Amino acid sequence: MPDTAGTKPIASNRKAFHDYHIVDSFEAGVVLTGTEVKSLRANGCSLVDGFARIKNGEAWLCNVQIPVYGHGTFFSQHEPRRDRKLLLHAEQIRRLVGKLQEKGLTLVPLRAYFRKGRVKVELGLARGKTKYDKRERIKKREAEREIARHARKS
């Protein structure tokens, strides 16, 4: 997990932690246009339906919505849900290709943030949870809250 000191958060994908077991996580840079960066600073983005894929030896961030920048001109506007190239080392991409061959693993964006003025995305190598796993997690969380509530009363 990347160091969080000196970062400015843009968005996080809480749904990913609910729907997936995160096996591994790592940081990647994102190739953006000027209005996309301005829009991220002003409006943020939505990572909920996003995923990453590797095609032709390059990593791509797909289905992540960055809203249109309101003060841009008609010619400088970007498409909100276009595929964006991720900046990773070749060795990281090779390792990911090997991991993604395993059944049930996928790449999901966990959070987006600025680090030293650059937009970064934390990607998670994830395995889907079953309904049973989700229910168990909810029961465990509620039991912990109940214990904490009783501890405060006594």
68, containing H or E segment: none
Residue-range definition of the domain harbouring residue 78: 7-129
- The answer to whether residue 143 is domain-embedded is no
Q: Would the pLDDT of 61 be above 80?
A: yes
Q: How many domains does the chain have?
A: 1
Q: Token pair of 76, please? A: 């400088």
For residue 64, being part of any structural domain is answered with yes
User: pTM here?
Assistant: 0.80
* pLDDT confidence of residue 93: 94
Is residue 142, in this structure, part of any structural domain at all?
Answer: no
Q: Would you say residue 141 lies in a domain? A: no
Beta bridge pairs of residue 8: 114
CA atoms in the 13 A half-sphere facing the CB of 133: 9
As to burial, measured by CB atoms within 10 angstroms (0-12 exposed, 13-18 middle, 19+ buried), residue 109 is: buried
Task: Calculate mean pLDDT across residues 124-137.
Answer: 86
Is 57 inside any structural domain?
yes
Arithmetic mean of pLDDT, 76-90:
88
CA–CA separation, 65 and 71 (whole Å): 18
Q: For the domain that residue 96 is a member of, what is the CATH number?
A: 2.40.280.10
Dig out the tokens for 61 from the structure: 């961030």
42 alpha-carbon distance from chain centroid: 19
